[in-house]
Amino acid sequence: MKLSTESLTRSAGTDIIEAHGLVKKYGDVIALNGLDLTVPEGTILGLLGPNGAGKTTAVNILTTLLEPDSGTAIVAGADVAASPGEVRKRIGLSGQYAAVDEHLTGFENLDMIGRLYHLGKKRSMARARELLERFDLADAGDRPAKTYSGGMRRRLDLAGALVAEPPVLFLDEPTAGLDPRSRTELWAMIRDLVKRGSTLLLTTQYMEEADQLADDIVVIDHGREIAHGTADELKTMVGGERIEVSLHSEASMEDAQRVLARFSMDGLYVEGRSVTAPISGGAQTLTEALRALDFEGVKLRDVGLRRPTLDDVFLSLTGHMAEQGSKETSGSEQSETMEEAR
């Protein structure tokens, strides 16, 4: 379902990524089935979908690591099929796994990437030191990468994607496996990249990550788009706010359901001693419902008013929750992908 709303005109410029009708098959398996994507300059597109939906395949095509069976894609003004070399000059890629050489220091990793991009010795060394400082790795820059924590490796990997100062970045599950603090730190760095003018295509299994970062979200399943909109627009698809009450005693369940049914827009959801009622009217409706429950003598253990989350959206669209930290390609495949990109 594509949401037609004026809110999607918030782009900072023209579309810097355009893909139309992408198809990719592996024998009888259809990885992509006519996928369309557009990403305005200076924004973040979140590409969501269950494991195996085709997210990594789409990224690999847009970064020239795979050729589509059909369809077209333009990235930063260059055709991925006709001018793959030009595309590679204009993009950075950080994959599902940190593609760093553990035996090299942080500085040596970044300096090597600069040399591969033909920046020259002086510029490569200067750029490496600059990025180590920017990503809070200066103190560890002369240590082997194998001594880095998971969060440090991810930051080094992201820094590597920025060595050539590309206008477009592809981040394929950039925070998979990180602890909450490291994830939050990386989010701040990603936001800073956009403030500096970068355009990002982000795949993730963390719904909160998409909610925090993405200006626009495309949900795909079985290789095709099934929903498109902002986080707020997608949440609206699964209904508005919800009253959730937890009862002290199951003896009050019948009374609680009878009361909440008067306020519910679409039936009730009952689990154990908890009742959930989709509503409209927000806090005012909640206040009225609480008064009615009190009048009936229903004793509450807990009560809350909440909006749908992207997890609710994902569940509604795909039939199951997102599989956090899952992958679509093996570690060796992803490592090979990253080496080719660089």
Which domains, from first to last, does the chain contain?
A: 6-235+320-341 (3.40.50.300), 239-307 (3.30.70.980)
Band (pLDDT 50/70/90 cuts) for residue 111 is very high
Higher pLDDT pick, 31 / 8:
31
11: pLDDT strictly greater than 60: no
- Number of residues in the chain: 342
**What residue has token string 């698809």?**
237
- Mean pLDDT throughout 263-275? 89
Higher pLDDT pick, 99 / 48:
48
Band (pLDDT 50/70/90 cuts) for residue 66 is very high
Q: What is the mean pLDDT of the chain?
A: 87
Coil, helix or strand at residue 101: coil
Beta carbons of 306 and 277 less than 8 angstroms apart: no
pLDDT of 323: 57
- Supply the DSSP symbol for 65: S
Structure-token pair, residue 180: 């909450």
Report CA-CA distances (Å) from 342 to 139, 156, 192, 316: 25, 14, 23, 38
Residue-wise pLDDT for 124-168, tens only, equals 999 999 999 999 999 999 999 999 998 899 899 999 999 999 999
Instruction: Report the alpha-carbon distance of residue 217 to residue 231 in Å, rounded.
Output: 7
Band (pLDDT 50/70/90 cuts) for residue 179 is confident
- Mean pLDDT throughout 332-338? 39
Task: State the CB neighbour count (10 A cutoff) for residue 302.
Answer: 11
pLDDT of 301: 95
pLDDT of 258: 95
- Burial code (b: 16+ CB inside 10 Å, e: under 16) for 206-240 equals bbebbbbbbbbbbbbbebbbbbbbbbebbbbebbb
